[in-house]
Amino acid sequence: MYLTSGAEATVKVEDDVLIKERVPKNYRLKELDERIRKERTKAEARLISEARRGGVPTPVIYDIENSTIKMQYLDGIAIKYVINEELSEQIGFLVAELHKAEIIHGDLTTSNLILFKDRIYMIDFGLSFFDSSTEARGVDVHVLFQTFESTHHDHEKLIEAFCRGYRKDFNKADEVLERVKEIEKRGRYA
């Protein structure tokens, strides 16, 4: 069963295993394209595993082959459909754990957070990278806040709850949240 097919990858489920395969780019030389897809696939799998090691629930990686990752299929619901203040606070805590592991998600949206068996899982690390800078962390959080604002009428309460969770056990939280405000101002006047 195909779940999605995008510009970067196709995602399908076979026998309760999620299979994500990076799509070939015909505009690149074949050898270069294969190498890039293979490297990005390995990097994504490594980041998923590192996030998990850092305390962030992620799908379990079963296998990596060329430009394909086979991983645990989480038959849950996207957070965007069920988010409330309590879940937003939990998300804040998880994002702090991710950032403490020096990982930037790169596409932190309520579609890439899945509620499965009463736990929130982070998925789709295709744009993720290692970075410990306040700017990168701030951009990550800013993207999530933009998602809250564009899709949830009670976004102010969700942002407040996220900040409570983010501050729980992350000594750089206030620094990052201040940067989020700066990033927001930059965007408004650009």
Just list the catalytic residues. 107
Q: In angstroms, how far is CA 69 from the centroid of its own chain?
A: 16
- Written as one letter, the residue type at 119 is R
CA angle in degrees (0–180, nearest 5) for 152-186-170: 65
